[in-house]
Every structure is written in C-alpha cells, then in structure tokens.
Amino acid sequence: MSVDVTTLKSGINVVTHAMPHLETASLGVWVASGSRDERADENGISHLLEHMAFKGTRRRTARQIAEEIEAVGGDLNAATSAETTAYYAHVLKADVPLALDVIADILSEPAFERDELSREQNVIIQEIGAVADTPDDLIFEHLQITAFPDQPLGRSILGTANTVRSFDDVKLRAYLARNYCAPDIVVGAAGAVEHRAVVAEVERHFGRFNGPAGPLPQPASFGGGTYVEERELEQVHIALALPGVAQRDPTLYSLQVFSNVLGGGMSSRLFQEARERRGLCYSIYSFHVPYTDVGMFGLYAGTDAADVAELMRLVVDEIADCAQTISEPEVARAKAQMKTGLLMALESSSARVEQLARQMIAWGRPIPLEELVAKVEAVTVESARAAAHALIDRGKLATAVLGLSSGLADAAAIAETLTRRAA
C-alpha cells in the first residue's frame, strides 16, 4: 500500500493513500477537538462551529462554497464527535487542489456573519428538537449523560437551546483559536492523489494554523446510574452501558470480539435468542466505543412494555453466560467479520481516508493493515472471556429507559442485577 506521511514545520500531519485504480479522491481535515474539549458554558459550540464553517468566508459566500464544489461534481460535508471534528470532500482527481482550497478557506477565514449565525442557531435548535422526538436517538443522549455525569464527555454534542443561543462570533473565534491548532490537525487524502502534490497544497493553504497544541480535555470517568423517563410510546427503549476500554488498551480487540458475539449481527446470541427464537424485539444490538482515555460498552433494545421483564432477564443472562461460554466458532466468526470490515475500508477512498486520519490522531501513525489483522488474529477464546469478565467485574452500570410506565421500573431493576452478580 502506498501510504505516506509528512509532518509540516507547523506540526500539521499530512497522510495520503494513493489508489491508482480510482479516478476520484476523498480528502479532508480532521481536528483532534470535539464536544469533550468544550467548557461547561460552551456545550454545543464544536457542532455550531462545524455548521458555521459552510456559511461564508471573507472570500466566498455560503452559496459560492456549495456551488464551487458541486460545479465540478463533488460533495462537501462535515461531522462532529466527542473527540474530533472533520471537514471532508469527494471530488475528481483534477479537483483536489480546489477542495483543499475550499476546506482551508472555511476553517481559516470564516465570516461568522450575524444573520447567518442566527439562522444556523435556529437550525441546530430544530435538530435538538428532532432528537427529542426520536426515542431511539434520545435514549443514547440519556445513556451518555448517565454514564459520564457532570463532565464534558457526558454532555450532548448538539448542546442545549440555551447554550447554542448564547454563542456569538467572539466565542466562536476564541474556541477556534484555542482548539484548531496545527499539532491537532490531520489532513488526509485517499484515492487518485499524489502525496507531494497534496503536501504542497497544504503548505500553501494551511499556513494560518500554527502555534502549540490545544489544551487537553478533562479526563473522563465512568459514573453510572439510572435514568428513567415515562413517555407515551409504542415501545420501551432500553440502553445499558458498562465501562469499556480506551483506544490503546491491549484488550480492545478481545472486548470487540465479545461484543460482536453477544450482539454484533444476525448470528449474534442476542439477535438469535431475543428476536429470532422469542420474538421479543425488532432491534437489539451491542457495541463498544473507545475514547482516548476511557471506553463505553453498550447495548440497546426496543420492546413492548409487556415483554420488558422477559427481555431484560434474557439480556442479563446472555451477557453473563457469554462471558463464561463464548466458543471457538463464535470467536472465529467475529474475527472474520472484523477482518472483513478492515479490508472493506480499502475499497472506498472515503472510508480509507477516515481510517487513516483517525489512526493518526489516536496513534500518531498509520497502522499497517497487517498489524491490525494480527491484533484481531491474536484474540483467543480465553482473552475474549477475560475481557468480558473484566467488563462486568468493574461493577458500574449506566441504564437509560424511555417509554410506558408499566415497564420502566422492571427494566431498570433487572439491569442492576448484572453488576450485583459480579459483586
């Protein structure tokens, strides 16, 4: 694989993967700053900044930003997470310089005009309202808050209506200056790209980003607890979380294998038992989210109020049983799924550049595919069981339940028996 990395004098890292069989390129800027880098009175400012980047610069209007990219058949987008913010484009190979110019422009010369800011604040408040009206989205907001209470990692990425309304151009520029610093920036490109040409464009357009790295975010601590909200809904929505492991934890892949076996697909234990054999739910799955310093293992299910108790007893039993009895065929199947996911990233320039950028942020280097596959292959039945036991034995649980009152108390009470078993 032709993966190249250059660190500029400013500290910006440029990573590329040339994929000669493609005629298009995916590229972007990934900043190691997200919602957990916000102060309490800044909740939601990372996401608002992402939105405002497209609302005009000193050189381009909002319409011109959209038209310049779409006039060449490309697309431009962005995303905010807890630990990163990304601005990315997909264009023909001849238009890579244009895309880098536009992305550099929206980050280094944002206009933050008052009228545009007011309109976009209203758009985000509508987005907050949309989440509040979507229970299978809202439940994860409450789970995050319950798992990481009174800390940045536990706050909504969107912020609140009050915080979003409080931001002005002065606050936006201060946040941008504090967190968008060269050592925290990765410029990535994959597809029909040439490394030296990309480096030259980055040196040309990203000169305004300099200075030392931004401040480190507040360390996260898994708290746990229970959140219950009664609502007139057709289903009871249930989400559980246990303290997982961080991105660099050596047990990460073993825990991911356990998660896949438990609830990672149609062949998983929870899907087969809860949906296929008992018909207790339409959607049920487990997941693991690793952050820089902590992790969160989670599980979601939606069910009828009358089936809550049976489903929750099944969930608790399956988690405990899987930790004891996960088998060689199950581990092999989960490892095959993980390796396929890694290889599929090589077939998409957008997936590949995101993979590389995140590796640069987490590890400071691109991780060779062979190294990743070796980490997956190293997982054994014993290591998967050990990771599962460690997960349960940490003794902390976060539970969020949303729905009809008749099922809420049962769901929360039964969930708590999982960690009591460990104790």
Catalytic positions: 50
DSSP letter for 110, please. Answer: B
Please count the CA atoms within 13 angstroms of the CA of 356 that sit on its side-chain side: 29
d(CA 305, CA 402): 10
Amino acid letter, residue 308:
V
Question: What b/e readout covers 150-173, taking b as 16+ CB neighbours within 10 angstroms?
Answer: ebbbbbbbbbeeebbebbeeebbe
Amino acid letter, residue 298:
G
- 110 - beta bridge partners? 57
> Cβ distance 156 to 43 under 8 Å?
yes
Q: Beginning with the edge strand found earlier in the chain, give each strand of the sheet holding 236-243 in spatial order.
A: 225-230, 398-403, 236-243, 295-303, 284-290
Complete DSSP assignment for 334-394: HHHHHHHHHHHGGG-HHHHHHHHHHHHHHHSSPPPHHHHHHHHHT--HHHHHHHHHHHHHT
Write down the number of H helices and E strands in the chain.
Answer: 16, 11
